[in-house]
Amino acid sequence: IQMTQSPSSLSASIGDRVTITCRASQGINNYLAWFQQKPGKAPKSLIYAASTLQSGVPSKFSGSGSGTDFGLTISNLQPEDFAIYYCQQYHSYPITFGQGTRLQIK
């Protein structure tokens, strides 16, 4: 299953609200996770089951979608939110990731 994220990069300002989309090449129900990765660090899980927030993740992050089309929305962008974001399907093997979306400060 191929996962396609868009955009590949995104520039936004502090306080903005942004949405990253992820499309699966076939239906994956809601077996979709989102990760945040900062330079030199391990990825951090934000959302699983398409819309369930991981414990400790602020509610400014939200996930949506089912089937083939999914979104990650981040509200009120702060400096610590600028990072690379990946989607991942875990519906079937091989598990696959999107190519990543680099969120940069405008």
54 versus 68: smaller Cβ distance to other proteins: 54
**Is 51 a binder of other proteins (CB under 8 A)?**
no
Which of 13, 15, 42, 80 is in the footprint of other proteins by CB under 8 A? 42
78-90 exposure pattern, b = at least 16 Cβ within 10 A, e = fewer = eeebbbbbbbbbe
CA 64 distance to own-chain centroid: 10
Q: Is 97 in the site for other proteins (CB under 8 A)?
A: yes
For residues 74 and 51, give the distance between their C-alpha atoms in angstroms, rounded to a whole number: 13
Total number of residues binding other proteins (CB under 8 A)? Answer: 21
**According to the binding rule CB under 8 A, does residue 38 interact with other proteins?**
no
